[in-house]
Amino acid sequence: MNFDDPITRLGMNSTKWDGAPDFFGPDAKGALPMWVADMDFAAPDFLQDAVKGLMGNAYYGYFHKRDAALEASAQWMQDRHGWSVDPANSFSTFGLGNALALLMQAMTDPGDHVAIFSPVYHEFAAKIRKGKRNVTEFPLQIVDGIYRMDFERYETLLTGREKMVLFCSPHNPAGRVWEQDELNELAAFCDKHDLILVSDEIHHDLVFPGTTHLPTATAIPQISDKLVMLTSASKTFNVAGTRLGAVTIPDATLRARFADYYKMMEIQPNLLGYVLTIAAYSKAGAAWVDQLNPYLSENFAVFSEGVNAIPGVTVMPQASTYLAWVDFEGTGMSQSEFSDRVLKKAGIVTTPGAGLGIGGENFLRFNLGTQRARVEDAVARLQGAFADLQ
């Protein structure tokens, strides 16, 4: 597949392209959208063929056998990540946002605390608060330019009311691929404080060449009695609109707690998501991902080199995802000043870091899941917008 093929998504009811003015105001109209985490690449042929096959049935009612997507997912996890999954231990959900909400409803009570490692994907805190739970923020610290967890500090931040920890692996927004020693510390912390660990691994396939993602389930099996794994084909294959995810719970006791609530909600997989997941988790899908990741890595290299040339602006090094985490603190500008420059002068729509929790205030998140020419255009725009700093 040629990822450089120019495409336009305007007029397709795309949140990323058509919806930006509704979120960021009139200045976002006509701007380069680098915010919402989906990619600008057309669906590969094997996904388009799957949709055509479904449409050709001319019948879109209830469907009987619903386990094939979970079985395809389990095979993918084994083949791509060395993680052995029993499909009987997994549940289909309407995406992973839905999964987070269901898990908190099933396994915590209103007023309980749920911990997150900030800054992190904004929906973690949003889901906690919407569910009338409380957020405990564990700030990540920057060590040698990248984020690290500081469990000694986190001991002092516990309220004693925490029941669950939400963990993002690989990390959104900074693209950290967590290492074995870090995961060991995480496991020990959760075990010590009897915390359910929910590991959102939606970006696990989008890892740059030379780096290996460690599934939490295989890296720290000693915590399996407290572990919940969240996965989906949506980020890898750019099919987030189908709203299908998987919750995998290895421990029978913990799984039973979730299963009771899940049955009451009568959740059934989305037909389109079901078909696309099966098509994605295939040999053709694996070959496509193996082409995609080097392209994303090179996009990041081009962006990082160009933006790091702007005095006071630093792109955090990363090893995964198509999201770049950019620090503007060195410019000496306020949050509103550098944000306005990026939107109004550079004409780029980004995700404000302040919405991702403690530590995100001086950052903007850029989506590089697009054609190389657009990444190069973004670099030129940013260099022009901050030319007075040269």
Cβ neighbours of residue 280 closer than 8 Å, sequence gap 6 or more? 46, 47, 233, 236, 237, 239
Q: Taking the chain, what is the end-to-end CA distance rounded to the nearest angstrom?
A: 39
Helix then strand count (H, E) for the chain reads: 15, 15
Mention every residue, 6+ apart, whose C-beta is less than 8 A from residue 55: none
Say how far apart CA 16 and CA 33 lie, in whole Å.
6
DSSP class of 341:
I
d(CA 292, CA 27): 32
pLDDT (0 to 100) of residue 58: 87
Cβ count within 10 A of residue 11:
8
Residue with tokens 């960021």: 24
Classify residue 362 by its DSSP letter. T
pLDDT, averaged per 10 consecutive residues of the chain (390 residues), comes to 90 95 96 97 97 91 86 98 98 95 97 99 98 99 98 98 99 99 99 99 98 99 98 97 95 97 88 95 98 99 99 98 99 98 98 98 99 99 95
| Nearest alpha-carbon partner for 371 in 308, 321, 304, 322 | 322
Tell me phi and psi for residue 136, to 5 degrees.
Answer: -105, 115
Place of tokens 């693209």: 175
Determine contact, residues 165/195, Cβ cutoff 8 Å: yes
**Predicted local confidence at residue 360, as pLDDT:** 98
CA 31 to chain centre: 23
> What are the Cα distances from residue 31, in Å, to 27, 37, 342, 344?
7, 16, 10, 9
* Cβ atoms of 178 and 171 closer than 8 Å: yes
Contacts of 177 (CB under 8 A, 6+ apart): 169, 170, 171, 207, 211, 212, 213, 214, 319, 320
Question: SS3 sequence, 263-329?
Answer: HHHCCCCCHHHHHHHHHHCCHHHHHHHHHHHHHHHHHHHHHHHHHHCCCCCEECCCCECCEEEEECH
Dmax (CA) of the chain: 63
Spatial contact of 239 and 280, defined as CB atoms under 8 Å apart: yes
What are the backbone dihedrals phi and psi of residue 49, each rounded to the nearest 5 degrees, phi first?
-65, -35
Peptide bond into 170 cis (omega under 30): yes
